[in-house]
Amino acid sequence: MEHGTSLTSLMIVVGVAFLVPVLLHRFKLRFLPVVVAEIIVGIAIGKSGLNWVAEDPYLEMLSSLGLIYLMFLSGLELDFSLLTSKPGAKTSGPNVMKVGFAVSAGALLLAVGLAFGLQGAGLIEEPFFFAIVMAAISLGVVVPVLKEKRLIESRIGQVILFITVVLDFTAMILLAFYISLRSQDLYVMLQLVLFFAAAYVAYRLIRRTLNRKVSEAIKAGTIQIGTRAVFALILFFVVLSETLGVEVILGSFLAGAIVSLMLPKKDFVHKLETFGYGFLIPIFFVMVGADLELGALLREPSVLMLIPVLLVCFYVAKMLPSLLLRRWYAWREAVGAGVLLSANLSLVVAAVEVGVKFGIIDEQLRGALILVAILSCFISPILFSRFFPKATPKRLSIGIVGANHITLPVSLDLEREQYDVRLYSVASAEEAAKEPKTSRFPLREVDKLEPEALASAGLFDRDVIVFATADDDVNLSLAREAKERGAARIIARVEEPDRLDVSEGEIPPDVQLLSSLYATRTLLKAVIEHPSAVKLITQHDDSIQEAELHNPAYDGMALRNLPFLGDVLVMRIFRGDSFVVPHGNTEIKLGDRLLVSGDVEEIAAVKREMA
């Protein structure tokens, strides 16, 4: 096609980016990740295939923005609360930071050893450069795959993400130092140091001057102000990177990490992801495939021979250190993590351009490394899907402190609805002296209702924590402790009317208050005004629960076409901060929360399918 400024190529790329997930769903190709399919389609319509995509400044700019935004979202995915163990909390997995650094160090050392081995065999001439390339990991592939498999918020998902970040960061820094040493230009090294110093100063200024205004706007979901602040932050760090001669992907990643530290609401993060994964990021992946020229590689036998050797080295360098995860996880999970960590793309593309510029590698090796990176991005997600066990829906765990006439029957009701419930209470001296007996309640007795005793009993590991003792002071004190320990959702019983008005300091933010007096008044009023609604909520024949959609197979599907609803009734669809009154033609979207009514077992089946 003729080169020039035209929207035709952009239309083609955006069109195929739209068709890829549709066709994957239509032909049930769930084993193939969307990002890999986008690269393959890019090869088909690009220079190595139909040549429908011309060199175009619009596409180049949008592709670059796609990579920048992808790195920003990768930084945004970091859950800093998982990087260290919470005090007093028991975890089922490893310490994210310790294991992440250990696996990363092993991968770096192994990559150096493999690179010198290739040099000894006469296959390469610059072992340090190839070691850096082999040690890098593609955040652009790892993050979408983890999100697609719903592992990004799990502990093993955060371990994989942290290893990816450490190795990618380290590879970027080592590449900059290597180039500065090789070119004997200390100014390049100084630029890198200045970048990190400037980034740290900017972060401190943002936290000090804008924390209360912008951060609270982001948390409150004021999308217009929050979005402007986020894009200003991205562009600031990108411009800072360019000014100091540092890779822009490093700057955009730091911008994402800073926004993550401000703890934005999930609804706001979802809107940011929608813009990225819906528009910019697919363009980047399609263009990676479109720019690859396979013909030039096939004409060079020595390069062809090097491709499988490099591909094996990519996998060995990551999979062997990843076996350390076997200490906490099954073989399939440890091997699957190593396979996914072997995917490499964005930094390879950046590194080979630098390598050609400084005469470290020639054009043939450049093409070979890019092809190896693309092959790893094609193979790794598929093997990861095969190796890694499918995520099973986790039962919501509820911890209730205080056994009384309110909590005891509620615990049984929740158990019948398949929640993981545990009651925590103090045993009296008489009961402690008696022989232990089996209780029909999910009761766990502790010595005292104090933080350490409750932490040892596993209370603070629960998804929802309810403090419902008869003492308001105890409930509020434990609620503050739970908040400090990072509990996600807290409910505290408060009966004193004067305390029901949330005051700063006494009642932690985001803690829901429960008053039996107000609850009784509200229920009586509802029975008088809306008796049918109360009957629907309180009847024991059916259950009312929330089911959240994470299965991409049903994204955009009308309710009438869902094959798994059966006799389950969809009463409301909650989407972000609003709700939708459902009809047969109502389409559900990823992240929607469906308020459903029906048999407990049927609702459980619906939840499994939607997950």
Mean local confidence (pLDDT), 222-249:
80
Residues of the chain with CATH 1.20.1530.20: 8-80+95-387
User: Edge-to-edge, what's the strand order for the sheet holding 578-580?
Assistant: 543-548, 593-598, 569-575, 578-580
pLDDT bracket for residue 589 (50, 70, 90): confident
> Token pair for residue 308?
């499988």
User: What was the pLDDT predicted at 315?
Assistant: 94
User: What was the pLDDT predicted at 570?
Assistant: 84
More confident: 427 or 156 = 156
The H-or-E segment that residue 215 falls in is none
Above pLDDT 90, what percent of the chain? 15
544-567 pLDDT, tens digit per residue, is 778 888 777 787 888 888 888 877
104-117 pLDDT, tens digit per residue, is 999 999 999 999 99
Count other Cβ atoms within 10 Å, centred on residue 154.
17
172-224 pLDDT, tens digit per residue, is 778 877 877 776 666 767 777 888 888 888 888 877 766 555 555 555 544 46
User: What was the pLDDT predicted at 503?
Assistant: 47
How far apart (Å, rounded) are the C-alpha atoms in residues 533 and 536? 5
pLDDT bracket for residue 294 (50, 70, 90): confident
What value does the mean pLDDT of the chain take? Answer: 80
Evaluate if residue 317 carries a pLDDT over 70: yes
Please give the CATH superfamily to which domain 541-610 belongs. Answer: Regulator of K+ conductance, C-terminal domain (3.30.70.1450)
**C-alpha closest to that of 400 among 494, 493, 472, 488:** 493
Mean local confidence (pLDDT), 457-481:
89
User: What was the pLDDT predicted at 437?
Assistant: 47
User: What was the pLDDT predicted at 153?
Assistant: 72
Q: What are phi and psi of 292, to 5 degrees?
A: -80, 130
Residues of the chain with CATH 3.40.50.720: 397-530
Residues of the chain with CATH 3.30.70.1450: 541-610
Architecture of the domain spanning 397-530: 3-Layer(aba) Sandwich (3.40)
Where residue 246 falls (left for φ over 0; alpha for ψ -120 to 50; beta otherwise) is: beta
User: What was the pLDDT predicted at 539?
Assistant: 61
342-375 pLDDT, tens digit per residue, is 988 777 877 787 787 778 888 778 778 888 888 8
8-80+95-387: CATH, from 3.40.50.2300, 1.20.1530.20, 3.40.640.10, 2.160.10.10: 1.20.1530.20
How far apart (Å, rounded) are the C-alpha atoms in residues 609 and 604? 9
> Dihedral of CA 131/37/17/227: which sign?
negative
